[in-house]
């Protein structure tokens, strides 16, 4: 189940009770961004806020959730299925240090690193893997737009966690606020790619045909990809919130026609 929190400093963020690790999905509420399109809590550079504003928002997010802003690793995203293994020497890359690589997902088994993905309609997925003693072994954050989703980035995240020596039933996933099938219209080429990459089961389950075109449930596709890896369905929590519908709470790339701020979803092993 997803829960919305309002911290004492005004920051509003969302968590999932399926995850035991420190984690949060940000909203657009509670920061210091002044521009109409970035107001109030933009967490990305190059969206119209000065660098200091974005860093101050990250500090506020960290204070609200309980992580050090300098520990965050969030690199340029390229709608790929590339996931990198993060160690603590990378802390700060993307906000306080120059990024050395681009990617769309992270896995880390090191304490001290906070991995984060930036979204505004795309699907943020946070995962964790624990051992038989319920100790967290590794965590993962994934940016899954339709390209990354269809390229199987969620599957890669699960495989990366399995590499850490855990079992499938020891993996938990929270699929965060993102554009819903109510609003995510796609072209026929996307539907064809769903069918080609993942089979007709996926188009039957997750593509809705309306009078004016095709709509896709990207959160559902990602949940199914993770489940088809063998992760039990009860280990996967899915947000019901649509970023396009909830304009007061979330930035939406589509609704705001690209002129928008960016949310950040973070998770840490410790």
Tokens of 12: 């509003």
Closer residue to Zn ion (CB): 116 or 145: 145
Q: Measure the CA–CA gap between 116 and 256, rounded to whole angstroms.
A: 23
Among 159, 182, 208, 209, binds Zn ion (CB under 5 A): 182
Q: Does residue 242 interact with Zn ion by CB under 5 A?
A: yes
Kindly state the DSSP code that residue 18 receives in the 8-state scheme: T
CA atoms lying within 13 Å on the CB side of residue 209:
4
Question: CB of 181: closest distance to Zn ion in angstroms?
Answer: 8
Q: Which of 68, 205, 245, 256 binds Zn ion (CB under 5 A)?
A: 245
The verdict on 54 binding Zn ion (CB under 5 A) reads no
| Of 67, 64, 124, 137, residue with least CA distance to 95 | 67
Q: Which 161-180 residues touch Zn ion, going by CB under 5 A?
A: 180
Could you tell me the smallest distance in angstroms from the CB atom of residue 210 to Zn ion? Answer: 13
29 binds Zn ion (CB under 5 A): no
Read off φ and ψ for residue 178, nearest 5 degrees: -165, 175
String of contacts with Zn ion for each residue 109-138, x by CB under 5 A: ------------------------------
Taking the complex as a whole, how short is the minimal distance between the CB of residue 258 and Zn ion, in angstroms?
17
Please pick, from the candidates 7, 29, 168, 183, the single residue that binds Zn ion as defined by CB under 5 A: 183
| Residue whose CB is less far from Zn ion, 29 or 245 | 245
Q: Are 68 and 95 in contact (CB under 8 A)?
A: no
Pairing type for strands 83-85 and 105-108 reads parallel
Q: CA angle at residue 126 from 122 to 130, to 5 degrees?
A: 160
User: Binding segment for Zn ion among 64-72, 86-94, 191-199, 239-247 (CB under 5 A)?
Assistant: 239-247
Q: Per the structure block, which two tokens stand in for 251?
A: 């930035």
Tokens of 43: 């967490």
* Residues lying near Zn ion in the complex (CB under 5 A): 180, 182-183, 242, 244-245
């Amino acid at each position: 189940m997803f829960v919305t929190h309002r911290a004492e400093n005004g920051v509003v963020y969302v968590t999932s009770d399926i995850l035991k690790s420190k984690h949060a999905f940000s909203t657009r509420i509670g920061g210091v961004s002044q521009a109409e399109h970035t107001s109030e809590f933009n967490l990305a550079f190059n969206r119209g806020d000065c660098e200091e504003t974005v860093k101050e928002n990250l500090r506020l997010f960290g204070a609200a959730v309980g992580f050090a802003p300098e520990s965050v690793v969030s690199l340029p995203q390229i709608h790929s299925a590339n996931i990198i293994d993060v160690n603590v020497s990378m802390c700060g890359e993307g906000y306080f240090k120059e990024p050395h690589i681009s990617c769309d997902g992270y896995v880390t088994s090191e304490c001290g690193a906070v991995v984060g993905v930036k979204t505004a309609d795309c699907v943020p997925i946070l995962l964790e893997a624990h051992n038989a003693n319920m100790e967290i072994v590794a965590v993962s954050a994934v940016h899954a737009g339709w390209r990354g989703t269809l390229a199987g980035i969620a599957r890669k995240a699960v495989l990366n966690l399995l590499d850490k020596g855990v079992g499938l039933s020891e993996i938990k996933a929270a699929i965060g606020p993102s554009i819903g099938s109510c609003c995510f219209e796609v072209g026929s080429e996307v539907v064809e790619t769903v069918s080609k990459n993942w089979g007709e089961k996926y188009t039957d389950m997750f593509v809705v045909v309306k009078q004016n075109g095709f709509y896709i449930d990207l959160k559902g596709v990602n949940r199914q990809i993770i489940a088809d890896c063998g992760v039990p369905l009860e280990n996967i929590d899915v947000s019901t919130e649509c970023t396009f519908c909830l304009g007061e709470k979330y930035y939406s790339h589509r609704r705001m026609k690209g002129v928008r701020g960016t949310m950040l979803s973070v998770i840490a092993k410790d």
